[in-house]
Chains A and B, each alone.
Chain A
Amino acid sequence: MDRVERHSTDVATLHLAWRERRPRFRPGQFVHVAIDAYDPSEHWPESRVFSIASAPSDPHGMRLTIGRQGDFTSRLLDEVRPGRTLWCKGPYGDFEVHAADREAPVALVAGGTGITPFCAFMEEALLRPETTAGPVRLYYGARTADLLLYAPLAERCAAELPRFSAELFAEEDVLPPFVTRGRLDIRRIADDAAGHPMTRFYLSGPPVMIEAFAGYLREMRGIPAAQVLVDAWE
């Protein structure tokens, strides 16, 4: 681990450099991270999965954003110091975010730390704008504006990428200029896409939110299941 970027006592981004070969991955995929050393003659040690937040073509390494959720993430946040070796394996996951089709708009819907699978996509779009052909609209919501960790990245994408737009939401009274007061509203998101039947919806965030949003899109709005992609986890 190269360095830790602390966002708060409970959230940090780990900047990792590869000790061995660099894995190929696609935006939206995740890795298993183990703190204890991996002995190849034994099973893989205790690990947790984290979406890769950096671009696949980022030459500097990999970034993971960690939120405190239990003992394992507490160890990552409190014990792991720069210079420590972590074991990662992957990439895994079929929640692959892309906007390569010019005719198919993309709606990225992120609740809280659910933004991380979209970060790799946004970082890659900035590094290689040619990878993003179709229009992309990001809907990114959190309880408070300071929890919108990747607001600067979203703002940068909106400013620099002609086919990228973003709406950020928080529930406080006083908010930065780029953030709207309110919550993610799947009805409005679906309305925005109403004239574009090819729109693909990527949903990432708390399981309750994903389940409710996906159910609404499929059942109430008749969006084909293949166009509603969820970053689901048991």
Chain B
Amino acid sequence: MTDLQSRRAEILEGVRAFQIHRESTGSAFRPGVDPVHYAGRVFDGDEVVNLVDASLDFWLTAGRYAEEFEAGLAEFLGVEEALLVNSGSSANLVALTALTSPRLRDRRLRPGDEVVTVAAGFPTTVNPIIQNRAVPVFIDVQLGTYVPSIESIEAAVGPSTRAVMIAHTLGVPFPVSEVRELCDARGLWLIEDNCDALGSSYRDRLTGTYGDFATCSFYPAHHITMGEGGAVVTNSEELARIARSVRDWGRDCYCAGGENNTCGKRFSQQFGTLPHGYDHKYVYSHVGYNLKVTDMQAAIGVAQLGKLPGFVAARKANHAALHAGLSPYTDRVVLHEATADSDPSWFGYVVTVRPNAGFTRADVVAALEAAKIETRNLFCGNLLRHPAYEGVEHRVVGALDASDLITTNTFFVGVYPGITRPMLDHVLDAFASFLSRH
């Protein structure tokens, strides 16, 4: 071991000791005093050691940890290619933009092409469609699962439809196997927004493996985190190469940061009307972005990825406990349900207050928040009711009744692995206390 290596080992040992000490100073949960967060990062010395290790490398941009994370995520999902980006929203942007690539010739998405999506979800599932001058076609979701039925997706496909881009909202798989068959039959691209659903499965196959692309998010609220981060996954080498270009400024060259001429043809190719041999590092085949991560982020992700199976199990157990505890109240609230043939890796526990419940969402949320239980809306509710989407070209197929009800009556609480049994009991007690009075 060199002097530098032994000093690094010494520092990392100290970092781990620091984290162990920090964990030992925590106190027991105090109901009504300590918050029950809707989500949060769950970590130990592994993440902190990796973060410091990457910092000591001082490589800064994507490096060895990014490479390790991409390989590990691809292996977890059983896909060929995984590309790290700096957020789940960026992943959606990269995936949709990649489908507009001229490399796809007549299969590419063009301005005016329609993309089927849902009205009630997260805005950045839809934004890339608009940003690429395609036309979103909004459909409703189903109360309870908060994802659309295959019938509603099929009904939305028209002569200009070229793609389907839908999220497995809050962990619940939409009927992705049937959607895959529909897309194959109608020649449509499929993007699975898997940001809320890492570890979910549909018909015994992981979500994120059905789409031409799927996306992941590693924001702290998600199943694993690296602070800011996301990924695009695909089984197509061609799509992966396009996505990498879109992520990396739009360049044609695939050398990683710090690399030169890995193709051996850096100064000897012809591109467009550029002079022959124009430096391949600065040849652009797409109108791209820079959406890469740093290696410090990826280092945290590597440690988190090893914990993912345990995290998924904890989310399922916490969701099941809440579901059992809330089941007496179905006359007043709609409980959170899985779709048929699915096994969700739940993001949260979603509750919709029935219109005739005798109380409002604001009432129950106020009671929970007063008990220090964090709640969140189901993101934006009906997206079309937000100012940003006024005047945006779109099509709506069917009524959006559920989306509107979600806007006014739906919220969720946490099931993340940091939630303990005493916290779950406190959440259920708070619900019971409120519902006994209403």
Contacts and interface: CB of A to CB of B under 8 A. Distances in A.
B261 A234 contact: yes
A40 B63 contact: yes
A44 B259 contact: yes
A40 B59 contact: yes
A42 B59 CA distance: 7
Contacts of B266: 234
27 contacts: A21-B71, A21-B75, A24-B80, A32-B262, A40-B57, A40-B59, A40-B63, A40-B64, A41-B56, A41-B57, A41-B58, A41-B59, A43-B258, A44-B258, A44-B259, A90-B262, A92-B263, A93-B263, A93-B264, A94-B263, A232-B264, A232-B265, A232-B268, A233-B264, A234-B264, A234-B265, A234-B266
Contacts of B59: 40-41
Interface string A80-92: 0000000000101
Contacts of B75: 21
Contacts, number: 35
Given A40-B64, A41-B58, A44-B258, A49 B264 contact: yes
Interface size grouping (class) on chain B: 20 to 34
Tell me whether chain B's interface is mostly helix, strand or loop, or mixed. loop
B71 A92 contact: no
B267 interface: yes
Contacts of A32: 262
Contacts of B71: 21
Interface string B35-57: 00000000000000000000011
Contacts of A49: 262, 264
Interface in B51-107: 56-59, 63-64, 71, 75, 80
Nearest to A22: B71
Interface of A: 21, 24, 32, 40-41, 43-44, 49, 90, 92-94, 232-234
Given A24-B80, A41-B57, A92 B268 contact: no
A25 to B, nearest CB: 11
Q: Which 8 A-B pairs have the closest CB atoms?
A: A233-B264, A41-B57, A40-B64, A92-B262, A40-B57, A234-B268, A43-B258, A21-B71
B292 to A, nearest CB: 17
Contacts of A92: 254, 262-263
Contacts of A40: 57, 59, 63-64
Contacts of B261: 234
Contact of B267 (A21, A44, A90, A234): A234
Nearest to B5: A39
A142 B317 CA distance: 66
Given A21-B75, A232-B265, 15 more contacts: A32-B262, A40-B59, A40-B63, A40-B64, A41-B59, A43-B258, A44-B258, A44-B259, A90-B262, A93-B264, A94-B263, A232-B264, A233-B265, A234-B266, A234-B268
Interface in B121-155: none
A85 to B, nearest CB: 15
Contacts of A21: 71, 75
Nearest to B264: A233
A32 B64 CA distance: 15
A233 B262 CA distance: 10
Nearest to A26: B237
Contacts of A234: 261, 264-268
Nearest to B277: A234
A40 B258 CA distance: 11
Contacts of B262: 32, 49, 90, 92
B41 to A, nearest CB: 25
A222 B254 CA distance: 31
Interface core residue of A40, A44, A93 (most chain B CB under 10 Å): A40
B235 to A, nearest CB: 11
Contacts of A44: 258-259
Interface core residue of B57, B63, B254, B263 (most chain A CB under 10 Å): B263
